[in-house]
Structure 1
Amino acid sequence: MAASQVESGSPEQQRPAHAPADHPVIPRPKVGVVLVNLGTPDATDYWSMRRYLNEFLSDKRVVDYPSWKWQPLLQLIILSRRPFKSGEAYRGIWNTEKNESPLLTITRDQAHKVAEGLRERHGDQILVDFCMRYGNPSTDSVLRRMQAEGCERILFFPLYPQYASPTTATANDHAFRTLMKLKWQPAIRTVPAYFEHPAYLAALANSVRETYAAAESPPEVLVASYHGVPKRFLMEGDPYHCQCQKTTRLLRERLDWEEGAIQTAFQSQFGPEEWVGPQTVDHVAELARQGKKHIAVVSPAFSADCVETLEEIQEEIRDSFLAAGGERFTYVPCLNDRDDHIQALLAIIENELGGWV
């Protein structure tokens, strides 16, 4: 911020320039950066899972059926059963040491490392925090806290490399819902999809190379598994499917592999309508039936390992491949808080902060 905006004084509390002597001190103007991820239940018990799933599955960006049709089904049938199954899945991956989900642990670590990187470059004029679209820490609580700490400008960063309305858009929606309730809104910018960013692609390629180098033998095929969406979304203009396909191609080119060495598939189908495909769980089984004995799976759409990668890919999808005749299954971890991923996030943030710092 320009020095003329505030008078000298406490590093955190200042009296506005040209204000009378009895004017109360206010927080020094700052810029905020908020990293945003999908969400996490607070615990794995039935009621914690039910609260989390109710918030998630009631989001019109996720399930856009009419409420009169969807809510009775959700409240009376789905939320009576699914919390038990989802709770079991989360218990299998739960960070028992911190009593939280791995997604929460990893996102916090990412935020800490991003904060360190920005502090080295800009001192204390940037505050960094993180929030979840569903669950805690909530978007509303984090944005309000940042405003109270003096953030007059906030960069809101959904950690989804590919844009999708059920991920990026709903995260942004929720941020703006908070702004709608504030008397004094901070200026806000949202970070666009970054699947083409060279630093992101470099980190993704590095993670594949390192996993392959550590494997006893090289996998025959790499499957890039993305979270699925209904095919209708593609027809209605959502660019997610196209951006996933392009990510696979750009990753293959970055690795300098021949066509066909990486194949695109989609996981986590939910509901009766047609989704984009092929479905990962079926595709890996077909690869086994074709004689592939060793495959690897990478998840370019997930910035942090979560239940979809730690449980669905490493258990359900792995079991599907082995049951169909496969012999070795290698998982390439998400980028998480590895240094090259943090450097990629910092490069994106620096670009998006242009003119603010």
Structure 2
Amino acid sequence: MSDKASLAVLLCNLGTPEEPTPAGVRRFLKPFLSDPRVVEVPRPIWMLILHAFILPFRPKPVAEGYKGIWKEYGGSPLRKITQSQVEKLQQQVSENSVLVDYAFTYGTPGLAEQITHYRDKAERILILPLYPQYSCSTTAAIYDQISKYNLGQRDVADVYVIKDYYRQALYRKALAESVDAFWQKYGRGDHLLMSYHGVPQAYADKGDPYYQQCLDTSANLAADMHLSEGEHTVSFQSRLGKALWLQPYTDVTVRELAAKGVKTLDVICPSFSVDCLETLEEITEENGEYFAEAGGKTLRLIPCLNDSASHIDMMAAIIAPFVDVQATGQK
């Protein structure tokens, strides 16, 4: 009888710098922005832009943003919250011979490193990307890394990936509960903005389902919260460069909502499973300033699902079928 666990679950997120310094940010951005899944500009042109104009200059201002949120959390919030997710999920599934850990697509611990480690400890490995909506620029990069890893193996690793889970009932429940809990505690704002990480419009035009999945997520949340059409808006943040990205843009939308008389704007970021630079700094600080400058009073960030009980329950439900299949000896 094998002394291996039946299953190893790796919660996979994009990653975080090792330290909030220009050098630390540069080391993180280089592999991230070099990935052709992330930026589809022809390689020679993009490598010139990346090494001549982005890596020499962008890390310094980005590091300042990281410093602010790291000071509040005593380290990388994405890493700390992810570690808490691992601990809580492990407690919930500990009786089922399941090991839980995390991996980053960029940074440490890397995906290949964790697959190497856990293939000797478990019969199978399940990757749960913490991206509710699939995109070629996020989840597909995970598939690529697994394929690259297995290309170098005579005995390939038995790895499975959850492609998306935006339609999962407990995800919908957790998202609605997070909004409701925030409103119960702080009162309801004048408007709810659902801000998603953006991707270039060209990706959607070529078949990436991300945009439609974001719209479906928002429609589900609006229905679950009984919101009318005028009570919520969908937008897309974090655009890079001058190309057309998914619209409407968040920074434009917050100004427009303020101009229309919205004084208290609540913002939720359903494509992010863990609070990070893009939520804590970009939304709260940058877009909070844009909103105030345009006449708004208060922009309030509704926290990501993070390590909430409902989020951990959702994760446990997603991995449950894989545990059940392993228990019956099937593949």
Taking structure 1 as the reference length, what is the TM-score of the superposition? 0.88
Match of 1:40 in 2: 16
Match of 1:88 in 2: 64
* 1:344 and 2:314 are equivalent in the alignment: yes
Could you tell me how far 1:173 is from its partner in structure 2? 1.4
Residues 1:202 and 1:29: Cα distance change in structure 2 (over 3 Å): closer
One-letter amino acid matched to 1:68: P
One-letter amino acid matched to 1:181: G
Does structure 2 conserve the Cα–Cα contact (< 8 Å) formed by 1:158 and 1:191? yes
* 1:136 and 2:103 are equivalent in the alignment: no
Q: 1:334 aligns with which of 290, 300, 304?
A: 304
Q: Alpha carbon RMSD of aligned pairs, Å?
A: 1.4
Match of 1:65 in 2: 41
Structure 1 regions of 5+ residues with no counterpart? 1-5, 7-13, 15-26
Q: Deviations over 1:96-130 (max 9, x none)?
A: 775x311011111111111111114x1xx211110
Match of 2:143 in 1: 172
Does structure 2 conserve the Cα–Cα contact (< 8 Å) formed by 1:156 and 1:190? yes
Higher relative contact order (CA 8 A, sep 6+): 2
Could you tell me how far 1:186 is from its partner in structure 2? 2.6
The alignment partner of 1:343 has SS state of helix
The alignment partner of 1:117 has SS state of helix
How many residues are aligned here? 327
The alignment partner of 1:94 has SS state of helix
One-letter amino acid matched to 1:126: V
Between the aligned partners of 1:200 and 1:303, the Cα distance in structure 2 is: 10
Match of 1:248 in 2: 218
Q: Deviations over 1:286-334 (max 9, x none)?
A: 0000111111000000000000001000100111111100012211000
Match of 2:190 in 1: 220
Does structure 2 conserve the Cα–Cα contact (< 8 Å) formed by 1:95 and 1:102? no
Between the aligned partners of 2:172 and 2:233, the Cα distance in structure 1 is: 16
Percent identity, aligned pairs only, is: 37
* Structure with greater Cα Rg: 1
Q: Deviations over 1:227-273 (max 9, x none)?
A: 00111111100000000001001001111222232210000010111
Does structure 2 conserve the Cα–Cα contact (< 8 Å) formed by 1:265 and 1:277? yes
Does structure 2 conserve the Cα–Cα contact (< 8 Å) formed by 1:191 and 1:352? no
* 1:105 and 2:80 are equivalent in the alignment: yes
Could you tell me how far 1:77 is from its partner in structure 2? 1.5
Between the aligned partners of 1:214 and 1:198, the Cα distance in structure 2 is: 24
Does structure 1 conserve the Cα–Cα contact (< 8 Å) formed by 2:273 and 2:306? yes
Does structure 1 conserve the Cα–Cα contact (< 8 Å) formed by 2:189 and 2:264? yes
Between the aligned partners of 1:119 and 1:228, the Cα distance in structure 2 is: 37
Between the aligned partners of 2:71 and 2:7, the Cα distance in structure 1 is: 32
Moved over 6 A (4+): none
Does structure 1 conserve the Cα–Cα contact (< 8 Å) formed by 2:198 and 2:245? yes
Q: Deviations over 1:18-56 (max 9, x none)?
A: xxxxxxxxx535321111001111112222111111011
The alignment partner of 1:214 has SS state of helix
Structure 2 regions of 5+ residues with no counterpart? none
Superposition map of 1:1-357 within 5 A = 6=1, 28=4, 30-94=6-70, 100-120=75-95, 122=96, 125-149=97-121, 151-215=122-186, 217-357=187-327
Residues 1:210 and 1:93: Cα distance change in structure 2 (over 3 Å): same
Between the aligned partners of 1:287 and 1:305, the Cα distance in structure 2 is: 24
Does structure 2 conserve the Cα–Cα contact (< 8 Å) formed by 1:160 and 1:302? yes
Could you tell me how far 1:218 is from its partner in structure 2? 2.1
The alignment partner of 2:165 has SS state of coil
